[in-house]
Amino acid sequence: MIRVAVFGVNGRMGNAIAAAVMQAEDMQLAAAIVRPDNSLIGSKFAEHGPVISDVITQPQTIDVIIDFTLPKGVIEHLQYARPMVIGTTGFSQAQLDKIQNFAKQLPALHAPNMSIGVNLCYKLLAESDGALDSRWNVQIKDIHHVHKKDTPSGTAKHLAAILEQRKPVITSERQGDVIGEHHVEFANEFEEIVITHRAKDRGIFVQGALIAARWLVSQGPGLYSMQDLVA
């Protein structure tokens, strides 16, 4: 049984991940955690879950942490010294350096997108980049809901990093309740190729986080990504 702590269960992703952990036959929700000033402290998660708290008082009872909170929170949570699955985006370079240092001692998996489908798209893009000559221009479209804080999205930035030699143009749109869409368009004067990923349900990110947690607990120190799972 994998004992999981989930930070930010008051948020949409944290709540969904904690609920999925409780339903998984091979996992136990060891701690459902919010910040110290949150009104949920003292209540129970999903009526029958563990008491929500702001700190892990017994980190030795936790096998892995799943954290989709804000960058500042993730960095604070490194102190608990447990393997970490990090789905947060928008880190500064200094914060990324702290995660890298953490990973020298313990395994950490950081992915801007936990979707297996998106990570397969990353592989397709890398292959396409190697197969198409310099006459092909590339544009990335990033579409999300109006509440998404970072623009461009972490996924769009990663897509651009794969294609950095082509200097891709990123356009971002924030509209309605769109879960997430990414379109990569290769074009020359004769033809166009479009690789698209469209998230239909946030459950793809939840299940991806659980898959990552299952994989990470058996790894040694290092900084991993979802690409290591789909390789």
What residues are labeled active site?
Answer: 144, 148
Q: How far is CA 175 from CA 58, 127, 158, 180, 213, in A?
A: 42, 31, 21, 10, 31
Q: Which of 61, 3, 73, 81 is nearest to 36 (CA)?
A: 73
- Residue 14 CA to residue 36 CA, distance in Å, equals 16
- Other CB atoms within a 10 A radius of the CB of residue 87 amount to 25
Strand order in the sheet with 84-86: 27-33, 2-7, 64-67, 84-86, 107-110, 222-224
The DSSP bridge pattern shows strands 107-110 and 222-224 to be parallel
Contact 2, 217 (CB under 8 A): yes
